[in-house]
């Protein structure tokens, strides 16, 4: 019989090596630096309102008062604060006394940059903390790609443009946009089967006596092997009938739960109880 893990209580779990995430209690410094913590939460909540999401930047954007540090008594940019447990730009538990302007500059680039992040409406505290940690702990070197990865990305992009540039006088348009490129590219759907469907054929073998669906509901199932990965990842695009627009949602949820439960049983059989 499996014994219970000796892990800490859910409220005291922390990030481990920047990879694992769980619930955690609020550090004591959050109470002593309430204004700093409140300013950070307001920036997470309202930064998307002034983000540079318009490519031409022609719209007049009004400053949001909640994003002004002076409103929270943080008018001195040279004053140092311990941001550990408030901002995730340093490893958890490290000594992180930094100047106000030093900590604000990268965070403003994240939340008031060219991508609008809006996630503070989530009712799950775990999800909100996960997004904050993901965005704030990111560094430029994370996005550095090896030459092989760049070549693979370029090949996928070039292949995805085939349907746009193969024949200038004939264009294939498909709803939702770019689904053809996704199917025939990453999901490895047969282009021959795609054109068979476009010409009026059925994706279901005739001997089965079943009717096919519209072209926008083509499905695929394949295994994707990423560079450096020990095992492939099985990706399945589930069928979604036209007359049951939302029917696929509970199906996807049930399939995910079934696979997770199967994995859990396998771990328990092997004696791994510290999940």
| pLDDT confidence of residue 215 | 75
Q: Is a pLDDT exceeding 50 seen at residue 1? A: no
- Quick one: DSSP state of residue 175? S
Residue 91: pLDDT band with limits 50, 70, 90: low
Q: Is residue 237 part of a domain?
A: no
The pLDDT of residue 159: 77
Same domain, 82 and 101: yes
The answer on 130 and 48 residing in a single domain is yes
Domain stops at, among 93, 123, 142: 142
Structural domain harbouring 50: 10-142
Whether residues 171 and 101 fall in one domain: no
Choose between 18 and 216: higher pLDDT: 216
Q: Are residues 80 and 121 in the same domain?
A: yes
pLDDT range class, residue 200, cuts 50, 70, 90? confident
Over residues 114-131, mean pLDDT = 88
CB atoms within 10 A of CB 1: 2
Is 46 or 28 the better-scoring residue by pLDDT? 46
Instruction: Give the helix ranges, DSSP H, for the chain.
Output: 29-32, 34-46, 100-111, 125-136, 147-160, 162-165, 179-184, 191-198, 248-269
Evaluate whether residue 260 is within a structural domain. Answer: no
Are 110 and 24 found together in one domain?
yes
Co-location of 158 and 48 in the same domain: no
Q: Let me know if residue 1 belongs to a domain.
A: no
Regarding whether 189 and 138 lie in a shared domain, the answer is no
At residue 5, the pLDDT reads: 41
Please report whether residue 232 resides in a domain.
Answer: no
Segment 123-128 mean pLDDT: 88
Residues 160 and 62 in one domain: no
pLDDT band, very low/low/confident/very high, at 114 (cuts 50, 70, 90)? confident
How many whole angstroms separate alpha carbon 255 and alpha carbon 246? 15
Task: Output the pLDDT for position 97.
Answer: 76
Last residue of a domain, one of 121, 142, 163: 142
If asked whether residues 113 and 74 sit together in one domain, one would say: yes
**Are both 177 and 78 inside the same structural domain?**
no
Name which of 117, 38, 23, 104 is nearest 71 in CA terms: 38
Rounded to the nearest integer, the mean pLDDT of the chain is: 74
- Residue 211 domain flag: yes
Least confident of 11-20, 148-157, 187-196, 260-269: 11-20
pLDDT confidence band for 147 (50 / 70 / 90): confident
- Same structural domain, 117 and 173: no
Virtual torsion, Cα 146, 147, 148, 152, nearest 10 deg:
100
- Please say if the pLDDT value at position 57 is more than 70: yes
Is 94 part of a structural domain of the chain? yes
13 falls in which pLDDT band (50, 70, 90)?
Answer: very low
Which segment, 45-54, 222-231, 239-248, is predicted with the most confidence on average? Answer: 45-54
Look at 11 and 155; give whichever has higher pLDDT: 155
The pLDDT of residue 93 is 62
Considering the domain boundaries, does residue 75 fall inside one? yes
Query: What mean pLDDT is predicted for residues 101-117?
Result: 84
| Number of domains the chain contains | 2
Domain boundary among 185, 205, 222: 222
pLDDT score, position 96: 65
Q: 197, 218 in Cβ contact below 8 A? A: yes
Q: Is the same domain home to 156 and 171?
A: yes
Write down the residue that tokens 């008018």 correspond to. Answer: 75
Number of helices (H), then strands (E), belonging to the chain: the values are 9, 4
Report if residue 119 sits inside a domain: yes
């Amino acid at each position: 019989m499996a014994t219970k893990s000796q892990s800490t209580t859910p409220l005291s779990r922390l990030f481990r090596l920047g990879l694992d995430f769980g619930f955690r209690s609020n550090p004591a410094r959050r109470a002593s630096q309430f204004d700093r913590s409140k300013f950070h939460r307001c920036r997470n909540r309202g930064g998307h309102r002034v983000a540079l999401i318009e490519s031409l930047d022609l719209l007049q954007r009004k400053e949001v008062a909640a994003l002004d540090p002076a409103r929270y008594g943080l008018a001195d940019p040279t004053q140092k604060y311990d941001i550990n447990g408030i901002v995730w730009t340093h490893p958890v538990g490290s000594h992180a006394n930094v100047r106000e302007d030093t900590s604000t500059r990268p965070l403003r680039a994240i939340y008031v940059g060219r991508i609008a992040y809006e996630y503070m409406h989530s009712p799950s505290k775990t999800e909100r903390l996960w997004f904050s940690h993901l965005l704030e702990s990111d560094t430029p070197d994370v996005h550095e790609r090896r030459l092989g990865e760049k070549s693979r990305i370029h090949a996928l992009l070039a292949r995805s443009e085939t349907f746009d540039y193969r024949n200038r006088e004939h264009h294939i348009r498909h709803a939702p946009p770019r689904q053809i490129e996704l199917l025939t590219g990453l999901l490895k759907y047969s282009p021959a089967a795609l054109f068979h469907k476009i010409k009026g054929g059925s994706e279901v073998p005739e001997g089965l006596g079943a009717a096919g669906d519209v072209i926008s509901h083509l499905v695929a199932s394949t295994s994707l092997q990423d560079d450096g990965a020990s095992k492939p990842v099985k990706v399945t695009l589930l069928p979604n009938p036209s007359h049951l627009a939302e029917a696929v949602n509970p199906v996807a949820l049930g399939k995910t739960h079934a696979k997770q439960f199967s994995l859990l049983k396998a771990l328990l059989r092997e004696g791994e109880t510290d999940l």
